[in-house]
Amino acid sequence: MIRTSSKVVATCVVATFLWVSAAMAGEVEVLHWWTSGGEAAAVGVLKDMLKKEGHDWKDFAVSGGAGANAMTALKSRAVSGNPPTAAQVKGPQIQQWAEMGVLANLDDVAKANNWDKLVPPQVAKIMKYDGHWVAVPVNVHKINWMWCNPEVFRKAKAKIPTTWDEFVVSSDKIKKAGFIPVAFGGQNWQEATAFESIVVGVGGVDFYVNTLVKADPKAIDSDTMVKAFETLRTVKKYTDKNAPGRDWNLATSMVIKGQAAMQFMGDWAKGEFTAAGQSPGVDYVAVPVPGTSNSYLFNVDSFIMFKVKDKAAQEAQKTMARLILSPEFQTVFNLNKGSIPVRFGIDRTKFDDVAHRSMSEFEATASDGSLQPSMAHEMAVYPAVRGAMFDVITNFYNSDMSAKEAAKKLAAAVKEAETE
């Protein structure tokens, strides 16, 4: 008798639960630019987890590395009064969207899930506007990596370089042996990605901060900046003639296939090696860009949620926000993406040596001040300044402008962008 009634109660409870979750099943339309092999595998984890919770994922993927196309698409949707419910937006741009008053406040999810304790303060600062959580951090990418094919180096009898002088010696040998020394994609953000690593490698952390974070024209118009531009030109010398316009993941695949020896790229490149079934230390080697072994240029991906009226959609947004910082998502997503978890308390054992190195360096550089935001990946300066920097870097890279002139132009462009 008692058994029967508890069964009835249980059935009713399950039925009620199903009804509630079906009633609250909402949809999130998610704008992102994760379309390469590794990126798609990583974002697929979030899609699946959200679906498991009973919500729908409407994919709004806009391809194009580093998200310039995605941001254009986002602006046009927002201008027409119809933004997606969630969007991949980073760094100072989060503040700009929040200032417009269009972002959902995520404080209750943050409170219920203890984000203030779990997220490092340097990252939390970027995600909050006026003290309120308006964005969810996803991961931490390190920019100043050099991805190498050890087999190509062996065949060319060349050493994996740790200095720019060694880089020239090794690149000459690699070229002679019939390989492409540097796999490169000639797109402005890829040029800027290589350039910012060169700036920290050539000038050190303080110089990087003064020039690409504080954007001080005096520091920019200097001999050290001239040297940085000259080094960028040296790198270009070792790229192939098909580099212009090439997507970053195609450049990574040249290293994977053994056509090229190295690529300067953030660790989303690792996602491509993983997707191709390759292992670090065996099929590929990841080392710091020459001269940058003591610095860490960081890039944190994040999502903002736009205000919506529909209760079920609000529920879906909150679920997505909660899932992103859950241990399961942080582990599986970052294993696919090549980045490291953005929150404390994640078991490291599933991660490989490259991730372990990044985790240790993230902690070490956070305490000694050499953890610095990436300019190229929207962490350091407002879009207008970043755009001005991109223009000069790409004009220099794609012309015969002298390094001296480039340093002068960069200083002038930054000055102008700041007064706009």
Binding site for ligand GAL (CB under 6 A): 33-34, 39, 65-67, 141, 268, 299, 301, 377
Minimum gap (Å) between residue 61 Cβ and ligand GAL: 11
CB nearer to ligand GAL: give 267 or 361.
267
Q: How far apart are the first and last CA of the chain?
A: 79
Strands (E), 81-203: 86-88, 128-129, 132-133, 135-137, 141-142, 145-148, 180-182
Minimum gap (Å) between residue 67 Cβ and ligand GAL: 6
Are 300 and 70 in contact, with CB atoms under 8 Å apart? no
Tokens at 112, concatenated:
């219920």
Helices assigned H by DSSP within 25-90:
37-52, 68-79
Minimum gap (Å) between residue 111 Cβ and ligand GAL: 27
Strands (E), 15-115: 27-32, 56-61, 86-88
Closest residue by Cα to residue 183 from 284, 103, 318: 284
Minimum gap (Å) between residue 124 Cβ and ligand GAL: 18
Minimum gap (Å) between residue 407 Cβ and ligand GAL: 25
CB nearer to ligand GAL: give 90 or 322.
90
CB nearer to ligand GAL: give 39 or 191.
39
CB nearer to ligand GAL: give 34 or 296.
34
Please report how many Cα atoms fall inside a 13 Å half-sphere around the Cα of residue 171, on the Cβ side: 20
Minimum gap (Å) between residue 271 Cβ and ligand GAL: 8
CB nearer to ligand GAL: give 55 or 142.
142
CB nearer to ligand GAL: give 318 or 386.
386
Supply the Cα-derived Rg of the chain in whole angstroms: 23
CB nearer to ligand GAL: give 361 or 378.
378
Are 90 and 373 in contact, with CB atoms under 8 Å apart? no
* H or E element, residue 418: helix 403-419
Minimum gap (Å) between residue 268 Cβ and ligand GAL: 4
Are 134 and 104 in contact, with CB atoms under 8 Å apart? yes
Rounded to whole angstroms, the Cα distance separating 330 from 353 reads 17
